[in-house]
Amino acid sequence: MKGHHFSEVTENNKAGMIWVISLLGLVYSILALLTRAFIKWRLLGLEDLSLIVAQLLAFGQYGILFASLHHGLGRSSDLLDSQSRIMTAMISQILLILSLGLTKCSVISLIRRVFTRDMMHSWLICDIILGFVCIWTIASTVVVSAGCNLSNYIPPDGNRTCSGFTTRWLVVTTLDVVSELLLFVLPIYFLWTLQMSIRLKARVVIAFSFRLPITAFAIIFVHLFTAIEKNPNRGAAISTAIVWQQIQISYSLISATIPCLKSFISSFDTKFGMGDGSGQGQYNYGSNLSQPNQNSRNHHLSYNQSKSAKASSSQAAIELHPLRARYPESLRNESKTADKERKSFAISKLRPERLKGSSTMSVGMVPG
**Tens digits of residue pLDDT in 238-249:** 888 999 999 999
The span from the CA of 250 to the CA of 58, in Å, is 8
Please compute the mean of the pLDDT values over residues 24-28 and round it to a whole number: 95
Question: How many independent structural domains does the chain possess?
Answer: 1
Give the DSSP per-residue string, 74-120: TB-GGG--HHHHHHTSHHHHHHHHHHHHHHHHHHHHHHHHHH-TT-H
Domain-located, residue 357: no
pLDDT one-digit tens code per residue, 247-276: 999 999 999 998 887 654 454 443 433 334
Domain-located, residue 36: yes
Q: At what angle do helices 46-70 and 90-115 cross, to 10 degrees?
A: 160
Cβ atoms 250, 59 nearer than 8 A? no
Model confidence band, residue 6 (pLDDT cutoffs 50, 70, 90):
low
Q: So what's the pLDDT on residue 366?
A: 40
Q: Which of 113, 95, 102 is nearest to 53 (CA)?
A: 102
For position 248, which CATH number holds? 1.20.1070
Q: What are phi and psi for residue 33, nearest 5 degrees?
A: -65, -40
Domain-located, residue 231: yes
Domain-located, residue 230: yes
The span from the CA of 86 to the CA of 93, in Å, is 12
Domain-located, residue 5: no
Q: In this structure, which amino acid lies at residue 208?
A: F
Q: So what's the pLDDT on residue 303?
A: 47
Domain-located, residue 96: yes
Q: Which of 319, 147, 169, 318 is nearest to 241 (CA)?
A: 169
The whole-model pTM stands at 0.69
The span from the CA of 288 to the CA of 291, in Å, is 6
The pLDDT of residue 283 is above 80: no
Domain-located, residue 296: no
Domain-located, residue 362: no
**Which region among 4-8, 156-160, 327-331, 350-354 has the lowest average model confidence (pLDDT)?**
350-354
Range of the domain at 103: 13-264
